[in-house]
Amino acid sequence: MDKKGKSALRRGRPREFEPDEALDAAMRVFWTRGYEATTMAELVESLGLNRASLYGAFGDKEELFLKVLERYGEKFSSRQISALAEYDDAFEAVWRFLERTAEHLTDTRLPRGCLFANTIIESPNGSAPITRVVAAGVSGLEAALYEVLRRAQAAGYISPDADMRALARFFAGVAQGMALMAKVTADPSLVFDIARTAMRAWPHSPSAADAEMRLAGGIDQVESRGKGKKAPARAAVSGCHQTRPRGV
């Protein structure tokens, strides 16, 4: 076969690619531009695939976006939520969740905001499949928060009169509010201010003076009771532990 024939054969072969890398590229486009504004032409260019290969691997634009949302949840949301399982201290767990959320939302290497929250804002009347995926993400966060809070209440660390379902929804709403703020401002201190202020709503918290001192950064490090970890120091804020159960 002559050189011209070999060249034509190479052009005819579908390009090999890594699905996760392709999804990451598509994620950045959707995250930056929004689902509605993103065109297939932009996706073809960003992924480096021809249109036929893109459709063959991921389906149409909506099918690709659904895969991107799943990838986003695995790559980013799961890391933030994992803080809730890493600390035995419920206050510390919720604070670290909000802290990781703030760090993610203000990471200058990434597009602004949260892809889930951006989708809700930009496409409030989106398709049923997209709405279900986003709603499932929000519900999953609320459920994870509720489980941490419920266990703390059962152990006596939180007042039995407090409504743990409402508190879980409150902190889930705080996270969504932080995402909105990060979308419209380049000042990360505003996002951390929301997280810090939200933690002052904690029921049956330590003494006001102790909580204020710790939330203001009055301690450099917090020794977490979760899995023997030492929480990283932050100049802006550090967490504080739960009060002891009554009678202990």
- Residues 48-75, mean pLDDT to the nearest whole number: 93
Predicted local distance difference test score (pLDDT) of residue 216: 55
> Can you tell me the mean pLDDT for 134-145?
93
CA atoms of 137 and 143, how far apart (whole Å): 10
pLDDT band at 2 (very low <50, low <70, confident <90, very high): low
- Cα–Cα distance, 174 to 169 (Å, whole number): 8
Both tokens assigned to 106: 């203000």
The SS3 of residue 11 is helix
Which pLDDT score is estimated for 10? 39
Tell me if 238 sits within 8 A of 220, measured CB to CB. Answer: yes
Backbone angles phi, psi at 13, to 5 degrees: -75, 140
For residues 179-201, give the mean pLDDT.
91
Say if CB 67 and CB 130 are below 8 A apart.
no
The dihedrals phi and psi of 231, each to the nearest 5 degrees, come to -70, 140
Asked whether the predicted pLDDT for residue 24 surpasses 90, the reply is yes
Whole-model pTM: value is 0.75
